[in-house]
A and B are shown apart, each in its own frame.
Chain A
């Protein structure tokens, strides 16, 4: 198990390196002339050149990248070209917002999907129909449209929750809850729709397995067979989808944070990326890729823990 984790971490580091290199190269293709952007069109060329030299942009791309990498591995992501903010500081105030959003969504998705999926898979009939219709609906509507509908209904019309803004959990827990509820709900719709279908499918699949019949033939009660054996075997496919969902959430978070005005890394992505602020973009890319790798690793470890075959493979 340990060597498995070590191998996966190593592969993740390689992936991170490749992606960061590719991103840096891609970002450097266009001649954005950052110095000119910063100083305005009236600035004399000499000042612009000096600014570019100050930012290190006069060097070859690979040297720039190596310089970035050397600092990044020590946790120094530099400062924003446009605002002069320290990138790590900017990230560290915004990351908790996004992480709490994602954790909330993943938790809600996992619990609701498990309940709905097992209910549909075991009961079939009407329950099954209900969950399938919900699944198609959740899937059919684009995520941000769902978000807009939720905002219009619950914040604008009913005024149950604020439409915009964020209260830190350290400041006020009820305030935090009231600002995070709608974003979490918005992002959970698609998650529950997708994952509950998977849970349902996995439960139905496992229920048809020979060993389930044999366990019943041994005289074990259905509840015990369901909770101990069926759920355990159905968990691996469900976890895989939950992990994939999490990766998709990163994109969804951009829109949701923008709509609700949450100060997370999603809204940060929009403002900084469109300007071509390489230090900030590179930090964002690194953080998200690390997040994706970490989640995938966690899912694999959990599956290995659940499924003895995956453990030895």
Chain B
């Protein structure tokens, strides 16, 4: 019913504690405060019903039926002459109590079974999931009505049945979150450290499930109250017990005679239910903000490990949704002098004459953060790429190199923008250029090869469709012609069975193959300039060498200019003509590949080189093959 499974489950996992902070945050949220206060008032009023109500809920005097408000009876009387205030307060006891019972039953069944199924998996999981699917396929109303026929018209028994029927929502939630956590490294670590399952569940797993369960409980409480009142409205409950649903039923039956009677139980029910749902959403905000304080909407381009750090696969470091790139925190330090475009020292040697293919001058990139502040991540970058040359843009992750590349392409993520400077692509100034004109350049003049091959292909379309679609749109060619070109491109990127790959879906091909497809896609509209963002980082070492060789070959054949973004100095040594070293949003040194690799001037560049030299022998082996 809630439709919101775990999903964002494991944030703030290890934090623990913090209950007070959450409460404070909920109460600081106006909606959270209002709903908590309303809910507290309702609960208190209902608890103290005997003190607050003028008479018992079933005291009736026919003389007063449909009577309007009087001194001691502020809401008047119902059709049987019973006091409305008393009915409301006592009815609230039964309505809320019934919902609470259903909720407890659902929690008692759903949470432990979900924990066990999620943590253990295997046969219990399969069996439990089957039962849950069965319960969810049951028509709840029929079951509830039938159980009334079977078990008799007591509200409480019906509520137990209702609890069973809604327990799957807890089971599924808990199972999903726990199954997600089970594979986490810290749980593995605890297991390796020899903690018993019970302790691991208690110490590490429960903490993660706690927040989603609290949110779900508030939501389900609202649903349970609604369902319960609905049942009572149908007249399923016992007649004499006052409940809000029964009051609504009675009022609806007399809607023509006393139209205002429906207002009070309706208001009570609506307020309670709405407060619960609003409280749930305030709780969600409070619980989920924890642990991901700032910078969550920053560009999440897969950063990469530290420069050539020994982490073989960059996936370990970056590409999760909430990446924690070190970039923002570092650049905060340099924020004191944000806009100064690094005037002195080792900027590019050719400040005066600008290259005709790509020329970047004083580029600044900034992000508008959620709290209204602006964070600059690129502080005045100069780069030139001429036709027929490969320029490496090197730096550690978070140095702003990908942001620079995205600016040239005009594909900065949400919130990011070019804050200053000039970028010309084949003579066209693109800073301030309108989106349509910029789009016209993409594909045909400047093209893009991304980092992660698999995540950059649309999983729903075949390779062929994805290759031909831009060609048909940009070059206005027929389907058949586009197909011919696409197959030809696949051959050019050294794919042996182009027909098969053309008809395949992305999940059916390997990562190396996917990267070739992406290179073919970038080439498809004959661009003059290629922006390749870490094109080999996500690949196996052997495949890396092949793809680099391929890029080099295509670049020579076509006379393209290439801006190659990389953190890997080995790649630079292999294919780049010139290199720009980037650090903290600035270019610290530029020069030919020879100069940078053999006679670096800047201490930062020397540090980069130092980090890579340890691995030099490993690289030498495949370098020979490609050259």
Contact = CB atoms under 8 A, between A and B. Distances in A.
A75 interface: no
A149 B455 contact: no
B185 interface: no
A139 B470 contact: no
Contact of A141 (B274, B443, B518): B274
A142 B460 contact: no
A261 to B, nearest CB: 12
B142 A281 contact: yes
A128 to B, nearest CB: 12
Contact of B229 (A142, A210, A217): A142
A13 to B, nearest CB: 13
A144 B229 contact: yes
B460 A229 contact: yes
Given A140-B278, A251-B140, A218 B458 contact: no
Contacts of B274: 137, 140-141
A136 B277 contact: yes
A21 to B, nearest CB: 11
B156 interface: no
A220 interface: yes
Contact of B273 (A30, A141, A232, A288): A141
Interface in A127-152: 136-137, 139-145, 148-149, 151-152
Helix, strand, loop or mixed for chain A's interface? helix
Interface stretch (B13-21, B145-153, B357-365, B580-588): B145-153
A270 B234 contact: yes
Interface string A203-245: 0000011110111111111001000110011000000010010
A214 B142 contact: no
B459 A307 contact: yes
A289 B149 contact: no
B530 to A, nearest CB: 11
B222 interface: yes
A178 interface: no
Contact of B270 (A26, A145, A156): A145
B3 interface: yes
A23 B473 contact: no
Given A194-B3, A218-B470, A210 B452 contact: yes
Contacts of A142: 222, 225-227, 229-230, 269-270, 273
A258 B145 CA distance: 14
B186 to A, nearest CB: 26
A232 B461 CA distance: 10
B450 A214 contact: yes
A139 B266 CA distance: 16
B455 A219 contact: no
Contacts of A293: 137
A27 interface: yes
A309 B441 CA distance: 34
B439 A221 contact: yes
A52 interface: no
Interface in B395-439: 409, 411, 413-414, 439
A30 B151 contact: yes
B442 interface: yes
A302 interface: no
A274 B273 contact: no
A148 B250 CA distance: 12
Given A219-B440, A219-B473, A224-B473, A250 B141 contact: yes
A233 B277 contact: no
A18 interface: yes
Contacts of B455: 209-211
B146 A23 contact: yes
Contacts of B411: 213, 216-217
B109 interface: no
A269 B145 contact: yes
B456 interface: yes
Contact of B457 (A27, A208, A211, A270): A211
Question: 5 closest Cβ contacts across the A-B interface?
Answer: A142-B226, A219-B443, A219-B442, A217-B448, A140-B274
6 contacts: A19-B138, A27-B149, A139-B277, A148-B252, A214-B456, A214-B457
